[in-house]
């Protein structure tokens, strides 16, 4: 491709290329091996003027694999058992995830973090909020009561988002 | 030797076909590959199959379809498409489930195509084979598979039951410019910068100019 045609590309075309490249790198692009030919399938980047959902899903998955506790504490990623909401820095909703698989995987991650943190914290009676799990794997059901107790002890009993509030308080405590 | 034409198909998804290694044996086969792939690719977006399932399907049905085509010598595109769709219905529980959801309100496969609001491709493909229902459904009823309920034409219509598959339950609510700006902020994709995001906003006329 010559320099001029590269220059004349619109921003949308540049973005399209970047999306396509991203999909090829991260999307496990399938190759169909027929006897005498190989077919490479790429999703079309834009469908009816919108980003192909296969690609946007991959981007969201990539982001969720990288989120930090900061993102949860700041409210940019809100995780509940029904959905995950992702917001930009101005608080505008960027995407909503309703995939059970993705929600479960995020809930597992955060539950393990909360479980570990709560097992290291002692309640008023001097015992840890949660018994340490042998391999650091906790189920949300096991830590839920401890979480409520912890928020009560921290005088945060009006919590509308247990996970977020607990992360904020635990982060403060460990800072 | 005649010139080798590398088949290139651009439909809802893009296919790139590498040049055949052995021209003499290949021409018929790549023709079939291409047809099978082309029809599948054109059908796939609206029946919600992603590229992975699509490639599985092509692998699964290609040999059978190729055999059928070779034996009948039938190269009529509508017949080929009908055959391919029929094989897909047999092989793909996911598609069966989708059709099952839609079926109560529908009378023919052609109507399914319309209901799925496919891009022209699927409608066109199905246009010429109303009789697929007659040829396919009785056969499906004889099978032991869960296919009998697939097109239950007499039950009460209830399209509210139609839900997108789990893999499509990620919804980006931002417009493309905002989404790109967020991608740039998070540094998720090389080549998507704030500059690109702003330019997309401008191209789409989304920025207000004070």
Write the pLDDT tens digit of every residue in B22-70: 222 222 333 444 555 555 555 555 555 555 555 555 666 666 666 666 6
Where does the pLDDT of residue A96 fall: very low under 50, low under 70, confident under 90, or very high at 90 and above? very high
- Is B58 within 8 Å of A28 when comparing Cβ atoms? no
Nearest to A37 among B20, B45, B51 (CB): B20
pLDDT tens track for A43-93: 778 776 678 777 888 899 999 988 888 888 888 899 888 889 999 988 999
Name the residue among A95, A108, A106 with its Cα closest to residue A136. Answer: A108
CA dihedral B100, B11, B182, A76 (to 10 degrees): 10
Q: Is the pLDDT higher at A148 or at B141?
A: A148
As a whole number of angstroms, the distance between CA A75 and CA A73 comes to 5
The pLDDT value given to residue A75: 85
Cβ pair B14, A42 in contact under 8 A = yes
The pLDDT value given to residue A110: 84
Mark which residues 1-40 of B lie under 8 Å from A by CB.
12-18, 20-22, 25-26, 29-30, 33, 37
Eight-state DSSP code of residue B116: T
Name the residue among B52, B12, B61, B40 with its Cα closest to residue B165. Answer: B52
CA distances from A113 to A8, A62, A138, A154 (A): 49, 20, 9, 18
Its pTM surpasses 0.80:
no
Classify A28 in phi/psi space as left (phi over 0), alpha (psi -120 to 50) or beta: left
Cβ pair A54, A79 in contact under 8 A = no
CA atoms within a 13 Å half-sphere pointing along the CA-CB vector of B136? 21
- Is B189 within 8 Å of A89 when comparing Cβ atoms? no
Name the residue among B71, B6, B61 with its Cα closest to residue B37. Answer: B61
Helix (H, G, I), strand (E, B) or coil at B110: helix
The pLDDT value given to residue B203: 72
What are residue B16's DSSP bridge partners?
A40, B8
Cβ pair B69, B75 in contact under 8 A = yes
The pLDDT value given to residue A152: 80
Tokens of A30: 């399938």
ipTM here:
0.82
Percentage with pLDDT > 70 across chain A: 81
Cβ pair B9, B18 in contact under 8 A = no
B187 has a chain A CB within 8 A of its CB: no
Q: How far is CA B159 from the centre of its chain?
A: 21
Lowest model confidence (mean pLDDT) among A29-33, A109-113, A131-135: A29-33
As a whole number of angstroms, the distance between CA A101 and CA A17 comes to 29
Tokens of B198: 């702003």
Q: Any residues with CB less than 8 A from the CB of B198 and at least 6 apart, and which? A: B177, B181, B207
**Average pLDDT, rounded, for chain A:** 80
The pLDDT value given to residue B73: 63
Q: Any residues with CB less than 8 A from the CB of A99 and at least 6 apart, and which? A: A57, B166, B167, B169, B170
Tokens of A125: 């009676």
Nearest to A21 among B54, B178, B191 (CB): B191
Distance from CA of A41 to the nearest CA of B (A): 5
Per-residue pLDDT of chain B (210 residues; tens, 9 = 90+): 444 444 444 443 444 444 333 222 222 333 444 555 555 555 555 555 555 555 555 666 666 666 666 666 655 555 555 566 666 656 555 554 454 454 444 444 445 444 444 333 333 333 333 333 333 333 444 444 333 323 333 333 233 333 333 345 788 888 888 899 999 999 999 989 999 888 888 776 554 333
Name the residue among B146, B18, B16, B36 with its Cα closest to residue B81. Answer: B36
């Amino acid at each position: 491709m010559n320099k001029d045609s590269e220059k004349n590309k619109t921003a949308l075309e540049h973005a399209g290329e970047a999306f396509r490249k991203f999909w090829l790198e991260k999307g496990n692009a399938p190759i169909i091996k027929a006897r005498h030919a190989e077919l490479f399938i790429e999703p079309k980047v834009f469908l009816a003027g919108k980003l192909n959902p296969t690609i946007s899903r991959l981007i969201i998955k990539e982001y969720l694999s990288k989120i930090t506790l900061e993102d949860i504490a700041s409210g940019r990623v809100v995780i509940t058992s029904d959905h995950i909401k992702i917001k930009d820095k101005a608080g505008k909703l960027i995407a909503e995830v309703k995939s059970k698989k993705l929600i479960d995987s995020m809930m597992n991650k955060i539950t393990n973090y909360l479980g570990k943190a709560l097992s290291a914290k002692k309640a008023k009676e001097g015992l840890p909020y949660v018994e340490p799990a042998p391999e650091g794997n906790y189920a949300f059901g096991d830590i839920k009561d401890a979480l409520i107790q912890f928020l009560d002890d921290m005088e945060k009993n009006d919590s509308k988002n247990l996970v977020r509030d607990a992360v904020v308080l635990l982060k403060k405590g460990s800072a | 030797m005649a010139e080798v034409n590398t088949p290139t198909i651009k439909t809802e998804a893009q296919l790139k076909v590498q040049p055949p290694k052995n021209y003499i044996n290949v021409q018929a086969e790549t023709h079939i590959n291409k047809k099978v792939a082309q029809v599948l690719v054109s059908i796939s977006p609206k029946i919600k199959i992603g590229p992975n399932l699509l490639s599985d399907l092509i692998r699964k049905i290609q040999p059978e379809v190729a055999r059928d085509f070779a034996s009948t010598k039938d190269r009529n595109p509508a017949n080929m498409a009908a055959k391919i769709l029929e094989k897909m219905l047999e092989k793909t529980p996911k598609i069966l489930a989708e059709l099952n959801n839609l079926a109560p309100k529908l009378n023919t496969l052609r109507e399914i195509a319309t209901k799925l609001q496919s891009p022209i491709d699927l409608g066109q493909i199905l246009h010429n084979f109303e009789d697929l229902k007659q040829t396919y459904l009785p056969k499906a009823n004889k099978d032991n598979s869960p296919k009998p309920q697939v097109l239950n034409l007499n039950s009460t219509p209830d399209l509210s039951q139609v839900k997108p598959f789990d893999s499509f339950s990620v919804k980006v609510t931002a417009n493309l410019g905002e989404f790109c700006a967020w991608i740039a902020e998070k540094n998720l994709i090389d080549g998507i910068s704030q500059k690109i995001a702003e330019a997309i906003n401008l191209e789409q006329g989304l920025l207000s100019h004070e």
